[in-house]
Amino acid sequence: MNLDNVLMMLSGISIFLLGMKLMSDGLEIAAGTKMKAIIERLTKNTYMAALVGLLVTAIIHSSAATTVMVIGFVNAGVMELTQAAGVIMGANIGTTMTGLMVAMDLAKISPIVIFVGVCLLFFMSKSKYKNMGQIMAGFGMLFFGLDMMSSSMEPLRGSKEFASLMASFKNPFLGLLAGMIITAIIHSSTAIVGILQSLGMAGIVDLRSVVFIIYGQNIGTCVTALMASAGTNKTAKRAAVIHLMFNVIGTAMFTVITLTTPFTYWVERLAQGNVSAQIPIVHLIFNTITTAILLPLNKYLIGISYSMVKGEDEVKSKQSLLYLDDRILTTPIVVVSQILKETERMADIAKSNFRDSMESIFEKDTGRINKVYEEEKTIDYLNSTITEYLVKTNGLDISDTDRRIVGSLFHVISDIERIGDYCENICEVSELVSSGRANLSEIVVVEIKELRDMVEKILDRAMFVFSSKEPNSELFEAVSELEDAIDEKTETLKENHLKRLNNNKCDAISGTVFSDLITSLERIADHATNIAFSMKKRELVSGRI
C-alpha cells in the first residue's frame, strides 16, 4: 500500500464523515418542527421514550448527539431519569440505521446525487430547496467516501501483515479494546461501522475478524456522553452512567454469545457473501436484543446509577435557568422550544408580580412589595441570559420557522422585562399609600380595580397567544379590542381625576400617585399587546394567517 493509497483512504474517510455530518444536519433542520413535536409528546412511559430515542437518532444519525441532548434535558430538569433511560436505549437502535443504509451500496449514483445536491444548495434561493440540496450532497458524499475508502484499501488484500493484524482482532480482548479506543478518539460509532464496511467491500475482512470491534465501539461511544456530563448535576451524571452500563452489559453478553454459539455463522447466512451488510446486521441485533432485555429492567439500572453517583441535587433557585443548558445547543432542533419554555416562565413571574404589586396597594401589604422587588431580580436575570441564548441560537443552523421565532423573542423578552419594571413602579406607589403619605379614596380604588381587571385580562390573553401552537386572527382581534377598551378607560379615568382636582377633592401627592398608577397600568397593557402582536408578525411572515 503506497502513499497514494494512504492519502486516498484518508480522503475517503474525510469525505465519508463530512457527508454524514452534512446529511444529518440537513435532516435535522428539515425535520425540526416534527422532531420538536415528537420530543414534546414524550411521556413517562419508558417504551414510548425508547421509541422517541430511536426515531430521533434515526433522523440525526448520531446516538452520541441524542445522548448529549438527553443529558442536557436531564440537567435542565426537563426530563426524568426514567424517560432518559428509555431514550438512551432507543437511541442505540436508531444509530444502526446509517450502517444499514450504507449496506445498500449506492456508490455508482453518488456523483449524480452530489451534483444535484450542490446545484440545489448553491443556485436555489428558497431555504427548503437549499436544505434538500444539503441532504442530497451529504448523502452522495457518504457513499462516495465509502467507495474511495474501499478502493484505497484493495492493495491490503494481499498484505500478510495486515491480514495478521486483522486476525489478531479475533481475540476478544484485542478486538474490544481496538473498538473502544478508536471510537473514543473519533467520537462516532457510525463512522467506525462505515470504515469496517469499506474493508468488507474491499474483501479484506470477514465478519469474524471484526465482530469484537463492533462490540467494543459501543462502549467507546459512551466517552462523548461521559464528557458531556462533566459539570452537570447528579441526575444528568446518572443518565451518562446508564448509557455506559447499557453498552457494557450488552458487550459482555454478546461476547459470551459469540464465543459459545455459532452467532457469526447465523449472521453470515442472513447475508451470504456480503460482509458490508453483515456488519450493520450484527450492530442492529446487538442493540435491539440488549434493549429488549434491559428496557424492562431500567428501574434496576437507575437504582445502580444512584449507588454509583450518590447524593441529591441542589434545588435550583429561581435566578437560574430551568429549561436551558449549553449542551442543548449541540442539537439546534430543541433549542428554540426550550427558550420558549424559559420565556413562558419569565412571563409567569411578571404576571405574578403584577398581581402582587396591585394587591399590595389595596391591602397595604409591604410583604408583597418586597416579594415583587425580589422577583424582579429573577426577571432581569432571565432577560439577560435568554438574550444570550437567542444570540447563540441565531448563529446555529435552524429552520426558517425557528429563525422567525428567535427574531420575535428578542422583542418579547424585552416587553416582559418592561412589564416587570412597571410593576416596580406600582410598588413605589404602594409604598407611598402604605406609609400614609398618599391616600386613595374609595371611588378611586374602585376605578383602579376596574382598570386592573382589564389589564390582567389582556396580560392573560397576550400570554395565551404567545404560548398558542397556532394563533389565529380571532385571538389577535380580541387582544386589539381589549387594548382599545383599556385606552378608552384610561382616558375616562384621567378626565374623572381632572374633575376631582378642579373640585379640590384630591391633594397634589395623591393626584400624582393616581396619575403614575394609571400610566403604569396603561404601559403594561401596551407591552402585553406588543407580545401578542410580535407573534402575529411571525405568523404573517410564515403565511399561516
Scanning the structure block, which residue is given the C-alpha cell 443529558? 71
Q: Are residues 254 and 361 in the same domain?
A: no
Dihedral sign (CA 428, 433, 435, 436): positive
Task: Count Cα atoms within 13 angstroms, Cβ side, for 2.
Answer: 1
pLDDT score at 95: 81
Mean pLDDT computed over 473-483: 85
Last residue of a domain, one of 254, 281, 308: 308
Q: Which of 278, 308, 338 is the last residue of a domain?
A: 308
Domain span including residue 174: 3-152+161-308
* Inter-residue contact 346 to 386 (CB < 8 Å): yes
Tell me the one-letter amino acid at 435: S
- Distance, CA of 323 to CA of 428 (rounded, Å): 32
Q: Is the separation of the CB atoms in 41 and 8 below 8 Å? A: no
Same domain, 366 and 405: yes
- Judge residue 155's burial from the number of C-beta atoms within 10 Å of its C-beta, 0-12 exposed, 13-18 middle, 19 or more buried: middle
Task: Looking at the structure, tell me whether residues 365 and 251 fall in a common domain.
Answer: no
Average model confidence (pLDDT) across the chain: 83
pLDDT digits (tens, 9 = 90+) for 516-527: 899 999 999 999
Q: Could you report the per-residue pLDDT of 143-194, keeping only the tens digit for each?
A: 788 778 777 777 766 667 766 777 788 888 998 998 898 888 877 777 788 7
Phi/psi for 187 (5° steps) reads 65, 35
Within a domain: residue 217? yes
Q: Which residues contact 285 (CB under 8 A, 6 or more apart)?
A: 267
CA distances from 198 to 145, 224, 316, 392 (A): 9, 24, 49, 38
Q: Is the pLDDT higher at 255 or at 442?
A: 255
* 356: CATH: 1.20.58.220
pLDDT value at 508 more than 70 = no
Residues 459, 415 share a domain:
yes
Name the grid cell of 482. 381589549
Residues 357 and 282 grouped into a single domain: no
Q: How far is CA 448 from the centre of its chain?
A: 43
Q: Which of 16, 219, 218, 212 is nearest to 101 (CA)?
A: 16
Q: Is 230 helix (H, G, I), strand (E, B) or coil?
A: coil
3-state secondary structure of 271: coil
Residue 61 C-alpha cell reads as: 444519525
Q: Can you read off the three cell numbers belonging to residue 318?
A: 429561581
Model pLDDT for residues 41-69, shown as the tens digit of each residue: 655 678 888 888 888 777 766 677 777 77
Cα angle 340, 28, 287; round to 5: 110
Would you give the DSSP letter of residue 314?
Answer: P
Work out the number of other CB atoms within 10 angstroms of the CB of residue 111.
13
Same domain as 445, residue 353: yes
The whole-number pLDDT of residue 455 equals: 94
Q: Is residue 318 part of a domain?
A: no
**Phi, psi torsion values for 55, nearest 5 degrees:** -65, -45
* 249 and 139 co-located in one domain: yes
pLDDT band at 543 (very low <50, low <70, confident <90, very high): very low
Do both 409 and 529 map to the same domain? yes
What pLDDT score was predicted for residue 245? 93
Asked if 279 and 357 sit in the same domain, the reply is: no
Residue 273, pLDDT score = 81
**Residues 148 and 256 reside in one and the same domain:** yes
263, 281, 308 - which closes a domain: 308
Q: Looking at residues 122-128, what average pLDDT do you find?
A: 80
Residues 480 and 398 in one domain: yes
In angstroms, how far is the first alpha carbon of the chain from the final one?
63
Query: What is the pLDDT, as a whole number, of residue 165?
Result: 76
Question: What mean pLDDT is predicted for residues 233-255?
Answer: 90
Are residues 241 and 335 both part of a single domain?
no
Burial 382-404 (b: 16+ CB within 10 A, else e): bbebbeebbeebeebebbebbbb
**3-state secondary structure (DSSP) of residue 221:** coil
Q: Is the pLDDT of residue 537 over 70?
A: no
Using the structure block, give the residue that is written with the C-alpha cell 442539537: 331
The whole-number average pLDDT for the span 387-392 is 93
Ordered alpha helix ranges (H), 221-310: 222-228, 234-260, 263-270, 275-294, 298-308
Q: Which residue has the higher pLDDT, 189 or 263?
A: 263
Q: Domains in the chain: how many in total?
A: 2
Residue of higher predicted confidence among 303 and 203: 303
What pLDDT, on the 0 to 100 scale, is given for residue 469?
64
Report the amino acid identity of residue 25: D
Q: Is residue 289 part of a domain?
A: yes
pLDDT of residue 355 exceeding 50: yes
Q: How many CA atoms lie within 13 A of 493 on its CB side?
A: 25
- Per-residue model confidence (pLDDT) at position 456: 94
At residue 313 the predicted structure's pLDDT band, cuts being 50, 70 and 90, is low
Mean of pLDDT values over 70-96 = 81
Q: Is residue 320 part of a domain?
A: no
Q: Is residue 321 part of a domain?
A: no
537 or 249, greater pLDDT: 249
**Percentage above 90 pLDDT, the chain:** 28
